[in-house]
Amino acid sequence: MVTDPRLPSLRQAVAELLGRSDLSQTLDENESLQSLGLDSVKLINLVIMIEKQYAVMFDDSELLNENFDTLNKIMAKIDEKAGARA
């Protein structure tokens, strides 16, 4: 199984955003970020970071917790946006 190369940087960003350095190494790709404390303000900060780092833009209608609740969902949204650009 090949690990997505974006995973370490996304883990690190989420860990920093949540103030939980322990998550930078242990956060599972399918673990709910809401259950770890990702609220609406932190979600917006996460989206801004993703948009800058991956050169994608999300529509306001996409800024829902369920679209960014796990690392796997985040990577899928990045892929979806990157594919739309191509």
The domain limits of the chain are 7-85
Q: Encoding tokens for residue 11? A: 């883990």
Mean pLDDT throughout 8-27? 94
Alpha helices in the chain (DSSP H): 7-18, 23-26, 40-54, 71-85
Domain spanning 7-85: CATH superfamily: ACP-like (1.10.1200.10)
pLDDT for residue 37: 95
Q: What is the mean pLDDT of residues 5-11?
A: 92
What CA–CA distances, in Å, run from 30 to 23, 27, 52, 73?
13, 8, 23, 8
Terminal-to-terminal C-alpha distance of the chain: 26
For the stretch 19-58, pLDDT in tens is 999 999 999 999 999 999 999 999 999 999 999 999 999 9
